[in-house]
């Protein structure tokens, strides 16, 4: 049995936070943000809108496009670093319940911006082993809830949104997800972290900022490690599978920074039309960024059945992952 990437869906909250809005909040400028990151705007969830709410909307679309009955889903995985509740219950169980799926195996993955690729890897393994047949994987983030809007080094980068995919069992080798790479290096844990809330932290701090509930990032060091890791991982997965970069129809990197994406694309000698870019309109949506980007090329009619996608992710942990994935659904 093989695992096929059958469908994609996404949800983008309506409220937009533009660079001009941020100019009024911190000492920054539209010019600086666009030049250093490629970001123009990002979407922000409503106050009462949760990570699970957004995940549910993306999932409904993915289920419909897969052409399956929701009751055929036997596993739900949600990749997120901004769950509805820290610790428990998992956001995946809440999403499953809101979809009317009460008995499936459901749990979250914490791998930051690499979360969707980790989820893909787990779905592939469960399907290939014969244990599951239709796995719903979701990347959903309400990063605005853990962003410090007084820190110009981070608040300009992040946005909210969700993406979802159905990974299904197939006997057709031509549809099979070819390979998924995943890795991590905890020695770099301090580059990107939300310091508090874990078992190693105090609980009596007076306010959220001082309590360390917001993301902290060593941006410049993260940038350099990101370029190095993203490049070496995709070079490795292409070499190991004997696939030339020219055979990739869509290179879909984690959307953190245009300059990082450009550096990796150049290292792989990719043409502009092979590289999928959404960072300008969504910013960095962590675990949701890759499925949101896949949905963008689906919606615009660029993604067609059989197209070979190369996914490439990098995030806090540090974690990284890449995947060679033929699209096994019908194009729009
Ligand atoms: N507006 C204006 N100036 C800013 C700024 C902002 N929003 N943020 C930082 N600066 C300033 C700094 O204070 C610094 O000023 P100084 O030279 O007077 O000290 C200067 O700009 C350069 O800062 P630096 O951090 O070196 O900038 P950079 O070119 O590395 O860009 C990031 C900053 C965050 C955009 C970039 O490092 C980045 O994208 N990093 C990786 C992010 C990422 O991928 N994270 C997630 C991984 S999943």
Q: Which of 117, 219, 225, 284 to mutate to test the pocket of ligand 1 (most atoms within 8 A of CB)?
A: 219
Is residue 331 one of the residues assigned to a domain?
no
Domain shared by 74 and 185, yes or no: no
Is residue 239 one of the residues assigned to a domain?
yes
Among candidate residues 150, 173, 196, the one where a domain is terminated: 173
CA dihedral 133, 136, 137, 139 (to 10 degrees): 180
Residue 332 · residue 301 · CB < 8 Å: yes
CA–centroid distance, 301 to ligand 1, in Å, is 35
Helix (H, G, I), strand (E, B) or coil at 135: strand
Residue 189: predicted pLDDT: 94
CA distances from 289 to 48, 72, 142, 259, 276 (A): 22, 26, 12, 16, 11
Is residue 302 one of the residues assigned to a domain?
yes
Among candidate residues 112, 141, 173, the one where a domain is terminated: 173
Any alpha helices (H) in 134-284, and if so which ranges? 219-240, 258-267, 279-282
Indicate the pairing of strand 308-315 with strand 250-253. Answer: parallel
Domain shared by 33 and 64, yes or no: yes
Domain shared by 115 and 223, yes or no: no
Cis before 139? omega within 30: no
> What pTM did the predictor assign?
0.95
Is residue 332 one of the residues assigned to a domain?
no
Domain shared by 274 and 134, yes or no: no
Domain shared by 121 and 91, yes or no: yes
Any alpha helices (H) in the chain, and if so which ranges? 19-23, 30-37, 51-66, 91-98, 115-128, 219-240, 258-267, 279-282, 289-299
Residue 101: predicted pLDDT: 96
C-alpha gyration radius of the chain = 19
User: Sheet of 75-79: strands edge to edge?
Assistant: 2-11, 160-170, 134-142, 75-79, 105-109
Report mean pLDDT in 10-residue bins for the chain, 332 residues. Answer: 98 98 97 98 97 98 98 98 92 98 96 98 98 98 95 96 98 98 96 82 65 84 92 95 97 96 94 96 98 98 98 96 97 93
Residue 90 · residue 198 · CB < 8 Å: no
CA–centroid distance, 89 to ligand 1, in Å, is 35
Catalytic residue among 19, 43, 78, 113: 113
What is the CB < 6 Å shell around ligand 1?
28, 32-33, 36-37, 113, 152-153, 156, 217, 219-220, 222-223, 226, 256-257, 260, 284, 314-315
Residue 268 lies in domain: 179-326
Residue 91: predicted pLDDT: 97
Is residue 21 one of the residues assigned to a domain?
yes
Is residue 256 one of the residues assigned to a domain?
yes
Catalytic residue among 19, 257, 284, 295: 284
Domain shared by 132 and 232, yes or no: no
Number of structural domains the chain divides into: 2
Among candidate residues 154, 173, 192, the one where a domain is terminated: 173
Domain shared by 41 and 82, yes or no: yes
Instruction: Mark whether 269 is an active-site residue.
Output: no
Question: The domain spanning residue 297 has which CATH number?
Answer: 3.40.47.10
Dist CA 154 CA 10 (whole Å):
24
Is residue 153 one of the residues assigned to a domain?
yes
Residue 203: predicted pLDDT: 61
Domain shared by 187 and 102, yes or no: no
- Exposed/middle/buried for residue 24 (C-beta within 10 Å: 0-12, 13-18, 19+): exposed
CA–centroid distance, 149 to ligand 1, in Å, is 15
Domain shared by 310 and 187, yes or no: yes
Domain shared by 232 and 279, yes or no: yes
Atom of ligand 1 nearest to the CA of 259: 39
Cis before 17? omega within 30: no
Residue 63 · residue 21 · CB < 8 Å: no
Residue 319 · residue 192 · CB < 8 Å: no
Domain shared by 188 and 164, yes or no: no
Is residue 211 one of the residues assigned to a domain?
yes
Residue 202: predicted pLDDT: 62
Domain shared by 124 and 267, yes or no: no
């Amino acid at each position: 049995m093989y695992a096929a990437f059958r469908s994609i869906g996404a949800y983008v909250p309506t409220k937009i936070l533009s660079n001009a809005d941020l100019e009024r909040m911190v000492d920054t400028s539209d010019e600086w943000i666009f030049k250093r990151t490629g970001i123009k705007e990002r979407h922000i969830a409503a106050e009462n809108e949760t990570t699970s709410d957004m995940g549910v909307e993306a999932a409904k679309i993915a289920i419909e496009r897969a052409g399956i009955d929701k009751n055929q889903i036997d596993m739900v995985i949600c990749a997120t670093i901004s769950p509805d509740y820290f610790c428990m219950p998992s956001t995946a169980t809440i999403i499953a319940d809101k979809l009317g799926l009460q008995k499936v195996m459901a749990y979250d993955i914490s791998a930051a911006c690499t979360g969707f690729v980790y989820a893909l890897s787990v779905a592939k393994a469960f399907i290939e082993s014969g244990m599951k047949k239709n796995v719903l994987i979701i990347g959903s983030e309400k990063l605005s809830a853990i962003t410090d809007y007084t820190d110009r080094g981070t608040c300009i980068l992040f946005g909210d949104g969700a993406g979802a995919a159905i990974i299904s069992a197939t006997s057709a080798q031509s549809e099979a997800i070819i390979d998924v790479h995943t890795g991590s290096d905890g020695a770099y844990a301090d580059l990107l972290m939300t310091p508090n809330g874990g078992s190693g932290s105090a609980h009596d701090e007076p306010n959220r900022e001082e309590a360390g509930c917001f993301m902290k990032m060593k941006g410049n060091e993260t940038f350099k490690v990101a370029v190095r890791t993203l490049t070496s991982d995709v070079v490795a997965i292409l070499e190991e599978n004997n696939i030339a970069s020219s055979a990739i129809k869509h290179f879909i990197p984690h959307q953190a920074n245009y300059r990082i994406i450009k550096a990796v694309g150049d290292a792989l000698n990719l043409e502009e039309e092979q590289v999928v870019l959404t960072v300008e309109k969504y910013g960095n949506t962590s675990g949701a960024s890759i499925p949101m980007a896949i949905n963008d090329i689906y919606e615009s009619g660029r993604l067609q059945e059989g197209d070979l996608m190369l996914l490439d992710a990098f995030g806090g942990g540090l974690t990284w992952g890449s995947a060679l994935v033929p699209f096994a659904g019908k194009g729009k």
